[in-house]
Structure 1
């Protein structure tokens, strides 16, 4: 017989842990499965200085450890495991963990996050947290008066470059194609900022530096006079080629946008399936911040508690009518 869980949370970043804190305080006996990367993307960030309550900054790993301990303090059970299959056709919802164990959940909070797309270079992992980032808003402050490069040609890349232009001394926007894919207004903005230089038909093929990124190896692509490489001195590389929401096992049951982000009722974590909620980056293609993820985790837990309370009232009424 499958284990029955009142409030099941999938994912252990700021959204998942915050949901666990609130659900625990509401006596929902939450069970949280940490997923493939306990603590989420934030654990790869060295220093966080824009989260309220940490005036001296804190590492992403330390912050997530504090979130986890706080969730456990209020009764949340944290388990290792990854969701491999789901059945949201009827309540209670059946969730399979690691292809083996199946649990049944009265409410489900999906906080599986989104994974930044990488170029596929070994150097990206080597310099993760040491000059390679996928979030200018998160890490741009550390590159004040320095030289950085942004990879990408869409709206997100242009937004990142514009943001960094207010912080860094020089910003290179490295674009594989001969033109930008961004909207016209974003193209105009990025092209009129003096300290942004666009490098068309070029791509990063390597990074260098003793401990931190000090330079990038750039390949001039076909279409130019020569296809050769050169070294571009930079202090940081920002990837802006998109994010991939971790929603594969839920797509059969929930509405998603063209990229895969779960669609919720505006301003809420409520999905089209009653009792199923989406929190954090898995449903947020716009902000992708720890603080907004935590806030949506709070909302999801509150909505889960409201849903369960409503179901209890309905059961009581139905029972009385049957008598």
Structure 2
């Protein structure tokens, strides 16, 4: 038998937790589902210095503060890896590896994962010089030499952003030309702080045991192994939305993101999406929280409409 709720929220990052806060405060029965601990990618972030109210806070600490603040409204939290979602009239039936749950309202807050290089040192130095977000971490590398790995729009945009604070930004790309749009390339090539290493296949991210010191790469033309010194390595080789369990709902775009309107509504009534899983440009804690507050309030409005029918 399915356990029944008013609202099921899949994902316990900052957006999902905020949606749970607003929905449970509105006296709706709420289930939060996640395959891992609450906090989402905040748990992989050493320091956060761009979230209002905290000049500096560790990611896991902020996640715990958010979680603790909602639990007084008594939503349920369950561990589970969502396998599929199907529609049953107005209900949404969520099947996980541990059970089945039903609710008329589904809020998707599963986020997105950055593609990794899968080279030695990447995991070891994550949060110790390896980053996937310049907006999040640029301030930690003021007046330092940093490297950006990638050649698409995101890599060049973030490289330009980094150049405002870093001493220098070296773009390391495996091809002999960028894939970024021409206007971005023009800005990057005109930026005196930006340098470029072409035909470079990153072999490892190097460090001293505590922090990043640079990278080792292979010159694809000469097959020579070379080193580049850097205090930070920013990796932009793609982002993957975590939306596979929701394909049957037919709410994904051709790249797997979930389009919504300004109310976080998808094209399926009663299904909302928020945060990094949405088709949008900026993916930050602050705007995930904003999305979550809207989705939580819209869940209440949707339930009111159902009750009036």
Normalising by structure 1, we get a TM-score of 0.93
Per-residue CA deviations over 1:276-310 (Å, capped at 9, x if unaligned) read 10011011441010000011011111111000000
How far apart, CA to CA, are the structure 1 residues paired with 2:100 and 2:225?
52
Match of 1:320 in 2: none
Q: CA deviation at 1:231?
A: 1.3
Q: Per the alignment, in what secondary structure is the counterpart of residue 298 of structure 2?
A: helix
User: Do the aligned residues in 2 keep the contact of 1:72 with 1:78 (CA within 8 Å)?
Assistant: no
Moved more, 189-198 or 199-208: 199-208
Residue in structure 2 matching 1:306, options 293, 301, 309: 301
- The structure that has the greater radius of gyration is 1
How far apart, CA to CA, are the structure 2 residues paired with 1:252 and 1:130?
39
User: Is there any run of 5+ residues in structure 1 with no aligned partner, and where?
Assistant: 315-323
User: Do the aligned residues in 1 keep the contact of 2:156 with 2:180 (CA within 8 Å)?
Assistant: yes
Q: CA deviation at 1:37?
A: 5.3
Question: How many residues end up aligned between the 2 structures?
Answer: 308
Q: How does 1:1-323 map to 2 (within 5 A)?
A: 1-36=1-36, 38-55=38-55, 57-88=56-87, 90-98=89-97, 100-210=98-208, 211-221=210-220, 224=221, 226-265=222-261, 267-314=262-309
How far apart, CA to CA, are the structure 2 residues paired with 1:313 and 1:89?
20
User: Do the aligned residues in 1 keep the contact of 2:38 with 2:67 (CA within 8 Å)?
Assistant: no
Q: Flag as ranges the 4+ runs of structure 1 deviating above 3 A.
A: none
How far apart, CA to CA, are the structure 2 residues paired with 1:36 and 1:122?
25
How far apart, CA to CA, are the structure 1 residues paired with 2:151 and 2:296?
37
How far apart, CA to CA, are the structure 2 residues paired with 1:11 and 1:124?
25
How far apart, CA to CA, are the structure 1 residues paired with 2:182 and 2:70?
45
Give the superposed CA RMSD. Answer: 1.2
User: Is there any run of 5+ residues in structure 2 with no aligned partner, and where?
Assistant: none
Moved more, 281-290 or 157-166: 281-290
Q: CA deviation at 1:85?
A: 1.4
Normalising by structure 2, we get a TM-score of 0.97
How far apart, CA to CA, are the structure 2 residues paired with 1:290 and 1:259?
23
